[in-house]
């Protein structure tokens, strides 16, 4: 059997040389042969990974990389195929077991690591998913889909430095990847690097002129910069491209009119009282809400609901306004109205749990959080609410389990980590509690919890 016959899995990518030249060490003079030699060294070090055969072919303005490994063999391939069948049936745990068996037989197949990572993410086991995706790109550094997913996951976890790094790695292998451009634009927008964000969104539009997500991202940036003309231009484009979809709905709410901008906050309740058009009231409420004028937003939403009281989304947003205004009783009544209209929406029960949590009603807060999880709202914050309020009822072990899950899903949830540490210490696990307090101090996020963690550590050292 020849080497070519043994090479079973092959992945190819084309990279623009212009994206690489700037990475070479600057010299006074470098000829083409030397440049190519250095590029080969750079590309081999960066992209060979676990390849048993790695080919580099220069062709005009591009270089083609071909990554190869031998066949996984019959036994591992059988397990892999069985895992894919389980995955198709959404039998995620069975799929995971099959891939783990396959990888114990043949550990350098990037597709199996990638699919295993996606399956963990489907189960909301973020850290395990990340570990498998990182293993994918360690073995096969040209596996661009893994970089894209890593960037997206880190963005959701609000670890924006890592998100930026992996999305840029994806774009170096696939410079016109629309999803990577939009996700990177969103990250740049969140961290207020608006010029970089605009470049990403505009490049996405140049590649896909009907990409509503890119126009919506641009609209949000122009809104943040106070450029209502350009913001409206982008939001109107979204409405045309996605008239009946979620983005179109959000864009329609975001369009600023001269009346809305000039009169909403200045005229306040008197101005809003004279409006009877529900769309205009909706728009004023939304604009006031995102600009922080919660009182005006509340007035507009209440007027809207007096005309059309069957909109669960508006009742939910009204509840958020009232909660931030400190109107806890009103917030509670509004979210209950929302739940009555949409009883199967997990996010509404999460919101109800937050209100009960603030009011220090642990039994009700835990019950609402559990209902949210049962309905599919199983995010870090919901697990935190459940864990903290179970612990407040004296159910320490149950609370510990859910707080740990909250941290596993989002290691940057410092609130969950702090309460997890407190509970560990209360249960006599001081070393584990201390470790979590120290992780709060090491975290890059600026939070008042850092001072509380520091004080708790000082108390531990004295005891």
**115-154 per-position pLDDT tens digit:** 999 999 999 888 999 999 999 999 999 999 999 999 999 9
Other C-beta atoms closer than 10 Å to the C-beta of 75 total 12
Positive or negative torsion for Cα 362, 363, 365, 366: positive
Last residue of a domain, one of 254, 275, 299: 254
Whether residue 374 is contained in a domain is answered as no
Full residue range of the structural domain in which residue 408 is found? 379-463
**SS3 at position 234:** helix
| pLDDT at res. 21 | 63
Whether residue 327 is contained in a domain is answered as no
Q: What is 145-157 written as a DSSP string?
A: HHHHHHHHHHHHT
| pLDDT at res. 260 | 46
**Together in a domain, 129 and 49:** no
Whether residue 32 is contained in a domain is answered as yes
Whether residue 441 is contained in a domain is answered as yes
**Together in a domain, 149 and 61:** no
Distance set, CA 66 to CA 12, 17, 171 (Å): 4, 16, 17
**pLDDT tens for each residue of 63-102:** 999 999 998 889 999 999 999 999 999 999 999 999 999 9
In CATH, what number is assigned to the domain containing residue 88?
1.25.40.10
**Together in a domain, 48 and 150:** no
**Together in a domain, 60 and 81:** no
CA-atom Rg of the chain in angstroms? 26
**Together in a domain, 47 and 166:** no
Higher pLDDT, 255 or 167: 167
Question: Which residue, 204, 198, 156, 160, is CA-closest to 180?
Answer: 204
Burial of 103 (0-12, 13-18, 19+ CB in 10 A): buried
pTM for this model (two decimals): 0.62
Give the separation between CA 134 and CA 130, rounded to whole angstroms: 6
Number of structural domains in the chain? 3
Q: Taking 90 as the threshold, does the pLDDT of residue 315 lie above it?
A: yes
Whether residue 232 is contained in a domain is answered as yes
Distance set, CA 346 to CA 73, 248, 352 (Å): 45, 23, 10
What are residue 91's phi and psi, to 5 degrees? -95, 75
Whether residue 161 is contained in a domain is answered as yes
Whether residue 352 is contained in a domain is answered as no
Q: Taking 70 as the threshold, does the pLDDT of residue 27 lie above it?
A: no
Question: Which residue, 423, 420, 383, is CA-closest to 405?
Answer: 383
**Together in a domain, 131 and 172:** yes
**Together in a domain, 397 and 459:** yes
């Amino acid at each position: 059997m020849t080497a070519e016959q043994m090479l079973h899995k092959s992945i190819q990518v084309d990279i623009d040389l212009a994206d690489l030249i700037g990475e070479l060490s600057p010299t006074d003079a470098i000829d083409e042969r030397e440049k190519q030699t250095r590029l080969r060294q750079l590309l081999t070090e960066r992209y060979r990974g676990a390849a048993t055969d790695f080919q580099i072919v220069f062709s005009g303005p591009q270089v083609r990389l071909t990554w190869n490994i031998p066949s996984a063999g019959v036994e591992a391939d059988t397990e892999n195929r069985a895992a894919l069948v389980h995955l198709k049936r959404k039998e995620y745990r069975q799929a995971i077991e099959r891939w783990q068996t396959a990888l114990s037989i043949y550990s350098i197949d990037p597709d199996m690591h990638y699919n295993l990572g996606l399956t963990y993410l489907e189960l909301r086991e973020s850290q395990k998913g990340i570990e498998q995706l990182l293993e994918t790109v360690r073995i096969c550094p040209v596996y661009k889909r893994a970089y894209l997913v890593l960037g997206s996951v880190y963005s959701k976890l609000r670890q924006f430095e890592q998100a930026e790094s992996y999305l840029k790695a994806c774009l170096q292998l696939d410079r016109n990847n629309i999803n990577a451009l939009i996700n990177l634009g969103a990250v740049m927008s969140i961290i207020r690097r608006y010029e970089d964000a605009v470049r990403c969104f505009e490049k996405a539009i140049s590649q896909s002129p009907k990409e509503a997500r890119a126009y919506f991202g641009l609209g949000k940036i122009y809104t943040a910069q106070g450029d209502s003309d350009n913001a409206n231009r982008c939001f109107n484009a979204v409405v045309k491209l996605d008239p009946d979809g979620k983005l179109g709905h959000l864009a329609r709410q975001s369009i600023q009119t001269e009346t809305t901008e000039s009169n909403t906050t200045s005229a306040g309740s008197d101005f809003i009282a004279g409006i009877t058009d529900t769309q205009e009231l909706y728009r004023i409420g939304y604009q006031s809400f995102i600009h922080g004028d919660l009182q005006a937003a509340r007035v507009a939403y209440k007027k809207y609901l007096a005309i059309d009281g069957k909109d669960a989304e508006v009742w939910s947003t009204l509840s958020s306004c009232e909660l931030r205004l400190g109107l806890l009783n009103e917030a509670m009544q509004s979210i209950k109205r929302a739940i009555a209209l949409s009883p199967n929406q997990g996010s509404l029960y999460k919101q109800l749990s937050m209100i009960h949590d603030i009011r220090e009603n642990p039994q009700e807060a835990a019950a609402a959080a559990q209902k949210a999880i049962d309905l599919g709202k199983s995010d870090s914050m919901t697990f935190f609410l459940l864990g903290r309020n179970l612990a407040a009822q004296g159910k320490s072990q149950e609370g510990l389990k859910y707080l740990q899950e909250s941290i596993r899903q989002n290691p940057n949830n410092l609130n969950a980590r702090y309460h997890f540490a407190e509970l560990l210490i209360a249960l006599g696990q001081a070393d584990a509690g201390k470790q979590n307090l120290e992780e709060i101090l090491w975290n890059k996020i600026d939070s008042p919890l850092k001072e509380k963690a520091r004080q708790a550590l000082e108390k531990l050292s004295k005891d």
